[in-house]
Amino acid sequence: MTDEREPKDRTGGPIRVGVLGARGRMGLEVCRAVDAAADVELVAAVDQDDPLSNAADAGAQVIVDFTTPDVVMDNLRWALDQGINMVVGTSGFTNERLDQVRGWLADKPDLGVVVAPNFGIGAVLMMQFAARAARFFESAEIIEQHHPKKVDAPSGTALHTARVIAQARAAAGSAPMPDATTDEMAGARGTSVEGVRVHSVRAAGLVAHQEVLFGTAGETLTIRHDSFDRASFMPGVLLAVRSVPHRPGLTVGLDALLD
């Protein structure tokens, strides 16, 4: 996936990349990864209080956003208005937000946006395996674990996983999950995302981890993914940066890029 023979931009030069959230945990790692790859070039590193126009002025062809859920939609709108493709890792994407992005793209047929809840290849596979397993089990619960500086809960990955499990169960006509709880302290059963219970753990020492627990008569299946280092996300980010100039419209998740 980091093959340097990948197509570069249409002029044959390196793809010019701007990073938003460039001084954050992910942004710093993305700047390093872009610097280290021969077929992409870091032209702008923008963080809080820097003008977004730095990225457009530097001629960015792709903007990578790892900021916060409260500013990412404004960043997206701005980049599309500037005619710049976007790769978005920032969490907070509801179905409504995705529809809004599709609406913005409707009159920009040459532009592409990739929104990926998780750029870790193992995490993408974990979500695919969970979707495949969903129809075979009566019960499914998600336990996500992250570092305590994470601002959102549940994680974007957990929300996406819950949605794909719910879709697979609906398509299979699965019955509601068994759960006789009637006496519950608030939060004890996590939160329900489209009928799938999600539990969020925050603890020092963690990076990004998720278990999907399936159960049915006499057996359970646990699918677990661990990111121990943010380097785990970089092959996926670079894959999206290389792909997005050739993928008009909205791509959600890395699945289509890995086929």
Ligand X SMILES: O=C(O)C1=N[C@H](C(=O)O)C[C@H](O)C1
Ligand Y SMILES: NC(=O)C1=CN([C@@H]2O[C@H](COP(=O)(O)OP(=O)(O)OC[C@H]3O[C@@H](n4cnc5c(N)ncnc54)[C@H](OP(=O)(O)O)[C@@H]3O)[C@@H](O)[C@H]2O)C=CC1
Q: Which residues are annotated as a binding site for NAD(+)?
A: 21-26, 47, 89-91, 116-119
Q: Which does 250 bind (CB under 5 to 8 A by kind): ligand Y, ligand X, none?
A: none
Prior bond to 154 cis, omega within 30?
yes
* 150 is known as an active-site residue: yes
| Rounded alpha-carbon distances, angstroms, from residue 157 to 84, 92, 146, 152, 229 | 26, 10, 11, 11, 16
Please report, for the chain, how many H helices and E strands are present, in that order: 8, 11
Known binding residues? 21-26, 47, 89-91, 116-119, 147, 156-157
Shortest spacing between CB 15 and ligand Y, in angstroms: 19
Rounded distance, CA 169 to CA 132, Å? 10
Catalytic residue among 8, 108, 146, 199: 146
> With respect to ligand Y, which residue has the nearer C-beta, 112 or 156?
156
Residues in 156-175 at the binding interface with ligand X, rule: CB under 6 A: 156-157
Q: How far is the CB of 26 from ligand Y (least distance, A)?
A: 3
- Residue 207 is which amino acid? V
Q: Which parts of the chain fold into alpha helices (H)?
A: 25-36, 53-57, 72-81, 95-105, 121-133, 156-172, 234-243, 255-258
The yes or no reply on residue 67 touching ligand X (CB under 6 A) is no
Task: Mark whether 246 is an active-site residue.
Answer: no
Binding site partner of 134, from ligand Y, ligand X, none, Cβ cut-off 5-8 A by kind: none
15 near ligand X, rule: CB under 6 A: no
Q: What is the spatial distance between Cα 226 and Cα 223, in angstroms, rounded to a whole number?
A: 10
Partner from ligand Y, ligand X, none contacting 93, C-beta within 5 to 8 A by type: none
Q: Which residues lie near ligand Y (CB under 6 A)? A: 20-21, 23-27, 46-48, 66-69, 71, 89-91, 116-119, 156, 233
- Strand order in 15-20's β-sheet? 40-46, 15-20, 62-65, 85-88, 112-115, 249-252
Q: Collapse the DSSP code of 225 into the 3-class scheme (helix H, G, I; strand E, B; otherwise coil) and give the result.
A: strand
- Selected catalytic residue, list 8, 108, 150, 246: 150
- The residues in 189-218 that bind ligand X, with binding defined as CB under 6 A, are 208
Output the known binding site for (S)-2,3,4,5-tetrahydrodipicolinate. Answer: 147, 156-157
What stretches of 143-254 show up as alpha helix (H) in DSSP?
156-172, 234-243
Q: Which residues are catalytic?
A: 146, 150
